[in-house]
Chain A
C-alpha cells in the first residue's frame, strides 16, 4: 500500500462547480498535513496546511479525519485558474528527519 494515495483523476468540472478530493495515508502516527498545488511543468506551491479542526481559506476548505486516515480538499465556485494538479502531502512519523511524503496528485480541469 502506498504511504499517500490519491485518485489521479482527471476531474473535469464546469466553472462554478464544487469539487472535492480525498487523500488517504497509511501511517497513523503522521501529524502534519498539507495540500500543494502544481501547475503543468512547474514546481509545487503550498496551497494550505491542514489542521485537526479543519480550516478554510476563501473558496478552499481542508478537513482531516484521523480515525479514517484521510484528508480532503473542497473547492467551491471553481475557476478556470484552479486547473492544476493537487498534491496531498503528509509528514512522516515524528523523529528521524520529519520527511514529507507526497502523493502522486489529483488533476483538476475546469472548463468554461
Chain B
C-alpha cells in the first residue's frame, strides 16, 4: 500500500521542549510539505522541499526546522521558539511541484503543549 505515514498521532509537549514529528512516504514523490491547521483556519505552509537535500521556508516557518536527507522522509522539529505550537500538523507529498499535480496528505499529528 502506497501512502504517507505520520507519527505519532498525538503528541504532548511541555513548554520549552523541542519535539520532532515524523513523515514518511513510499509514493516516490519528489516534493514534500508541512502544514499547520488551526480551528476554523485554512492550512498554512510551514516548510516545503522539492527535492532531496533542499528545502525552503513557507509562510510560517519561524520556530520550526526540517531536514530532507532521504527522498521518503521529511521530519519537522517544533522548537521552543514556536510561541503557539498547539495545532494539527499535516505532512503532504506531491509527485513533483508542477502546476496540475495534486497533493496527498498523511493522517496528521495533533500536538498539544501543556
A104 contact set on B, CB distance < 8 A: 40-42
Name A92's closest neighbour in chain B (CB-CB): B99
Name A91's closest neighbour in chain B (CB-CB): B99
A105 touches B42 (CB 8 A): yes
B110 contact set on A, CB distance < 8 A: 41
B90 contact set on A, CB distance < 8 A: 43-44
B43 CB to closest chain A CB (Å) equals 4
B50 touches A102 (CB 8 A): no
A45 contact set on B, CB distance < 8 A: 105
Given A8-B40, A44-B43, A105-B42, the answer on whether A49 and B102 have CB atoms closer than 8 Å is yes
A49 touches B42 (CB 8 A): no
A89 CB to closest chain B CB (Å) equals 8
Per the 8 Å Cβ criterion, residues 39-70 of A in contact with B are 41-46, 49
B43 touches A102 (CB 8 A): yes
* Chain B contact residues: helix, strand, loop or mixed: loop
Among B35, B58, B99, chain A packs the most CB atoms within 10 A around the CB of B99
Assembled-state Cα–Cα distance A46/B107 (Å):
13
**Interface bin, chain A:** 20 to 34
Given A99-B45, A103-B42, A104-B41, the answer on whether A49 and B100 have CB atoms closer than 8 Å is yes
The verdict on A4 contacting chain B, using a C-beta distance below 8 Å, is yes
B95 CB to closest chain A CB (Å) equals 12
Name A34's closest neighbour in chain B (CB-CB): B102
The verdict on A12 contacting chain B, using a C-beta distance below 8 Å, is no
B99 contact set on A, CB distance < 8 A: 31-32, 91, 94, 98
B105 contact set on A, CB distance < 8 A: 43-45
The verdict on A17 contacting chain B, using a C-beta distance below 8 Å, is no
A32 contact set on B, CB distance < 8 A: 99-100
Assembled-state Cα–Cα distance A4/B107 (Å):
24
A102 touches B108 (CB 8 A): no
Give A residues with C-beta under 8 Å from B.
4, 8, 31-32, 34, 41-46, 49, 87, 91, 94, 97-105
